[in-house]
A = this chain, B = another copy of it.
Amino acid sequence: MAAPVDKVDLQARKRAAKIIHEKFKGVLKDVLSGKPPRLIIPKRTLANTRFDPEKGILVMGEDVIERELLNMGEARRFMQTLLMASIIYQALIENEYPTIRDLYYRGKHTIVYRDLRGRKRQENTWEEQKESDAAIRDVEVYTGLLREEMLILSKEKGKVVGRMKIRSGGDVIDLSRMGHGAYAIESTPDLIEILDVDAEFVLVVEKDAVFQQLHRVKFWDKYRAILITGAGQPDRATRRFVHRLHYEHNLPVYVLTDSDPYGWYIYSVYKVGSITLSYESERLATPPARFLGVSMTDVFGYGRKKRPWLSERERKNFIIKAKDKDIRRARELLRYPWFQVPEWKREIAIFLRKKAKLEIEAMASKGLRFLAFEYIPRKIETGDWIV
């Protein structure tokens, strides 16, 4: 009945279990010494999220919340955090690989108790996954362990191919020998050992279908690259993998998205992190990531300084009218500190003036070879990107 146990996984388990144990011992000590038990946890709120201009990422501020068992307003959250920590600890020592959804189920039950007047009452540990997910995040910030380090799995959609090898779960995998398919990145990217990088840069593509196109013409082989897609809004594992490639292997990272506020936001998540996960930016974000395109100046040109990549006629056929939602989002982006550079202000200004957007696929429809062997390499060569 025993499952094979992977050595790398086992080490990660032991480490995480030990840290959880240490961190929560304090609570037990409080109880034993008669003190009201409490947890001091950094606040995961928008108000306590700020942009650190030096690091170039979103970080948590200094505000903390004190969760006390004997405080009516905090008792429920206190119990939830402790419950979640104990379930995760249990899963770690029992060689389990829970998903965030089954952590919800593992902890879901009804507590029946009698109140001060002796009346029978009941309460559920949590009602929705939103609550159990928040408890997971509390455990993450309290212990400093990412959920990936606690061997918690979740749905992943990132893919990679390119000139490198990795070791994962005891296997050595050559990412340059994936055929027309790709390697689907695992939930625990820190357990991947990066073995052999024979590449000069990383190209992150927003869209899966465009990733497949570039893969078919072996873009990554010709230009010595690692090709990655997060298939839209990237998950944590994809961001962490990109981060590792940049910081551990010194590879510049280029991001290719649609030319619209949604694409810019996706770039921004790779670059500085996201608000809900600001406590993880340090490990997930890649501030030096370069926005390769498609830029508004690629589409419309820029005065006499830059000729557009599209003809008048192509623009007419390819451009999509921006929606109100796009305009609102663009105005929001304009306020983000990391977009306070002339190039980004220009991008957003052109968008707001033209009220037009463009998809990468429009570039591919000029010919896949145009996209793969002209547009992308020439932009990289000439340094035509935005940081």
Using a CB–CB distance below 8 Å, which chain A residues touch chain B?
1, 3-4, 6, 9, 94, 96-106, 108-110, 153-157, 159, 166-173, 177-188, 191-192, 207-210, 212-213, 216-218, 221-222, 231, 313, 316-318, 359, 361-362, 364-365, 367-369, 372-373
Contact = CB atoms under 8 A, between A and B. Distances in A.
26 contacts: A1-B369, A3-B222, A4-B217, A9-B216, A96-B369, A97-B212, A97-B216, A98-B368, A101-B359, A102-B361, A102-B364, A105-B317, A105-B362, A105-B365, A109-B313, A153-B216, A155-B208, A166-B179, A169-B180, A172-B177, A173-B181, A179-B186, A183-B183, A184-B184, A186-B212, A187-B212
A361 B177 CA distance: 34
B179 A372 contact: no
A111 B158 CA distance: 41
B180 A191 contact: yes
A106 to B, nearest CB: 4
B153 A209 contact: yes
Secondary structure dominating the interface of A: mixed
A99 B364 contact: yes
Nearest to A103: B365
Given A102-B364, A105-B361, A217 B168 contact: no
A101 B221 contact: no
Contacts of A173: 177-179, 181
A133 B369 CA distance: 23
Nearest to A124: B317
B177 A181 contact: no
B156 A212 contact: yes
Contact of A187 (B169, B180, B186): B180
B155 A209 contact: yes
B180 A182 contact: no
